[in-house]
């Protein structure tokens, strides 16, 4: 009965459509990006932004973010690529999975900054509109790790334990009996993070409405809440990663980045929300921005 209570994992993550491989990981990433764009568009329009701004910025931010995410992943988990028996060329095999959120946010932010500058949009205001969409995108993207049978925690007998198969490329390896080889039952850390991200997205949306967060504070709340969850989830994970003093690199990153986000929240507290004027841009292409006069609406 305990096996029946386990969460199953897919035995296949790639389907061949003629010569074209359809990868579940890539589909989840694309689905997450679409969800983030749709949610951000709604929030950006509510803040006074113009239709089309979000998609134009995404054209810059998404490619930058994917490259940054892959670079961070390779740096934080170098052994499969540069360790003994590793294959350096696999560092470019992004379809196999492996995008580090910190690199994606850092380099994606550079792409967003370039696009915002080109359109005369203040980056902090746009980041506030984007924050919950990023969390939703990350939650959907974690389903790609489920399809790839990766990023699980240590062994467990809990009722929600995750069945993991020995993985061979895009599908489970088969034993002599022709059945998928089961490695064991582990903590479903992909699911923990998925649920945490959705809860954090709800928190950011609620706090943004309640306190009229502005000047990057909604984005800072996203970073702080995500780091809080990633900290304890990272301690459960067992996949290869760089360690410092016996602790995973992402644990240090979560602490440093999370504390920085909390400090920013307090530093910017009390500032009224920006109001984006939808009137036509001036000759320099700038979007007129002013601050909301109702300062009492933001008690935090």
The residue with greater pLDDT, 151 or 225, is 225
The angle that helices 249-267 and 217-234 make with each other, rounded to 10 degrees, is 150
Residue 41 to residue 23: CA distance in whole angstroms: 27
Query: Model-level pTM?
Result: 0.87
DSSP string computed for 133-165: HHHHHHHHHHHHHHHTT-S-BSB--STT-EEEE
Detail the DSSP E strand segments found in the chain.
Answer: 14-17, 20-23, 162-165, 167-168, 171-172, 182-186, 243-244, 247-248, 274-276, 289-291
Residue 246 to residue 226: CA distance in whole angstroms: 23
**Cβ atoms of 33 and 64 closer than 8 Å:** no
Q: Mean pLDDT across the chain, nearest whole number? A: 88
Least confident piece of the model among 100-104, 179-183, 203-207: 100-104
Summarised one tens digit per residue, pLDDT across range 153-190 is 999 999 999 999 999 878 999 999 999 999 999 999 99
């Amino acid at each position: 009965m305990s096996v029946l209570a386990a969460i199953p994992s897919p035995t296949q993550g790639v389907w061949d459509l003629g010569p074209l491989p359809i990868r579940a990981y890539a589909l989840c990433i694309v689905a997450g990006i679409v969800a983030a764009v749709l949610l951000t568009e709604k929030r950006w329009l509510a803040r006074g932004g113009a239709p089309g701004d979000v998609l134009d910025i995404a054209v810059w931010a998404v490619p930058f973010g994917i490259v940054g995410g892959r670079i961070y992943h390779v740096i934080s988990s170098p052994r499969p690529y540069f360790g003994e028996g590793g294959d350096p060329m696999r560092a470019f095999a992004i379809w196999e999975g492996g995008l580090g959120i910190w690199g994606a946010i850092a380099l994606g932010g550079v792409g967003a900054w370039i696009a915002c500058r080109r359109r005369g949009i203040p980056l902090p205001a746009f980041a506030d509109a984007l924050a919950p969409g990023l969390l939703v995108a990350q939650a959907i993207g974690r389903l790609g790790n489920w399809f790839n049978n990766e990023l699980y925690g240590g062994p467990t007998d809990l009722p929600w334990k995750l069945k993991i198969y020995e993985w061979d490329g895009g599908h489970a390896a088969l034993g002599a009996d022709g059945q998928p080889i089961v490695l064991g039952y582990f903590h479903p850390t992909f699911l923990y993070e998925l649920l945490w991200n959705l809860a954090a997205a709800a928190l950011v949306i609620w706090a943004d409405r309640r306190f009229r967060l502005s000047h990057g504070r909604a984005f800072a709340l996203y970073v702080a809440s995500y780091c809080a969850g990633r900290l304890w989830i990272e301690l459960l994970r067992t996949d290869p990663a760089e360690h410092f003093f016996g602790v995973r690199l992402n644990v240090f990153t979560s602490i440093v980045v999370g504390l920085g986000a909390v400090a920013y929240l307090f530093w910017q507290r009390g500032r009224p929300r920006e109001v984006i004027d939808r009137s036509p841009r001036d000759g320099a292409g700038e979007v007129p921005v002013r601050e909301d006069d109702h300062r009492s609406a933001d008690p935090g």
